[in-house]
Structure 1
Amino acid sequence: MSLTLNLDFQYTTSIEKLWSAITDSDKLAKWTMENDFKPVIGYRFQFRQKPTEYWDGIVEGEVLIVEEPNRLSYTWGSGGEKHTVVWTLQDLGDGKVNLHLEQSGISNNQALGGAKYGWSAMAAELDKLLAQ
C-alpha cells in the first residue's frame, strides 16, 4: 500500500519569487533544512538537520523535473522510505500564487501524518520568508 499526501498553500507573492524560494539553496534553507540543492535534473542532494534518537537527520534526493516556474519534482529518501515530491505553482492572479505539494510513495498513516505536519509547519515559515 502506498499513500499520497496532497496539500495546497496560497501565498501573496509573484510566481517567480515563490519559484526562487523552492529552488534557491539559501532561501530553501530558511524554510526547510540546510541543503546543497540545485534545480538541475539528475542532481543528487541532501537536506540535513540535527539528528534525533529516531532519525539521522538526512534526506537524500535526486532532482527529477525542473519546469521553471511551474513544476519541480525530486525524490525524498529517508529512514528506509523513498518518496517522490512534486511542487506545482499556479499563478492565481491578483498577486496570489497556489503552491501544490504532492508527496507519493508514503508507506503508512503515521508517516503520512508526520509529512503533513512537517510540510504545514515549513509552509508557514515559507510564508514569513516571502513576506520579507
Structure 2
Amino acid sequence: MSLTLSLDFQYTTSIEKLWSALTDSSKLAKWTMENDFKPIVGHRFQFRTQPSEYWDGIVDGEVLIVDALNRLSYTWASGGEKHTVTWTLQDLGDGKVNLHLEQTGISNDQALGGAKYGWTNWCGELEKVLEQ
C-alpha cells in the first residue's frame, strides 16, 4: 500500500521569490532544515536536523525534476522510507501564488500524519521567509 500526501498553500508573493525559497539552500534552511541542496537534476543532498530518540535527523535526497518557476521534485529517504516530493507552482494573479505539494510512496497512516504535520508547520515558516 502506498499513500500520497497532497497539500496546497497560497502565498502573497512573486513566483520567482517562491521558487528561490524552494531552491536556494540558505533560504530553504530558514524554513525547513540545514541542507546542501542544489537545483540540479541528479544532485544528491541531505537535509539535517537535531536527531531525536525516534529519528537520526537526516533525510537523503536526489533531485529528479527542475522546471524553473513551475515544478521541482526530489526523493526523500529517511527512517527506512523512500518518498518522492513534488512541488508545483502556479501564479494565480494579483500577487498570489499557489504552491502544491505532493509526497508519494508513504507506507502508513502514521507516516502520512507526520508528513502532513511537518509540511504544514514548515509551510507556515515559509510564509515568514517570503515576507522578508
Task: Give the alignment's TM-score, normalised by structure 2.
Answer: 1.00
- Number of corresponding residues: 132
Quote the residue 1:36 is aligned against. Answer: 36
**Distance in 2 (alpha carbons) for counterparts of 1:72 and 1:46:** 16
Gaps of 5+ in 2: none
Cα-Cα RMSD:
0.2
- Summarize the alignment of residues 1-132 of structure 1 with structure 2, pairs less than 5 Å apart: 1-132=1-132
Stretches (4+) displaced over 4 A:
none
TM-score by length of 1: 1.00
Distance 2:107 2:117 in 1: 16
Cα offsets for 1:56-102 (capped at 9, x unmatched): 00000000000001000000000000000000000000000000000
SS in 1 for 2:54: coil
The residue type equivalent to 2:118 in the other structure is G
Displacement of 1:109: 0.2
Structure 1 unaligned regions, length at least 5: none
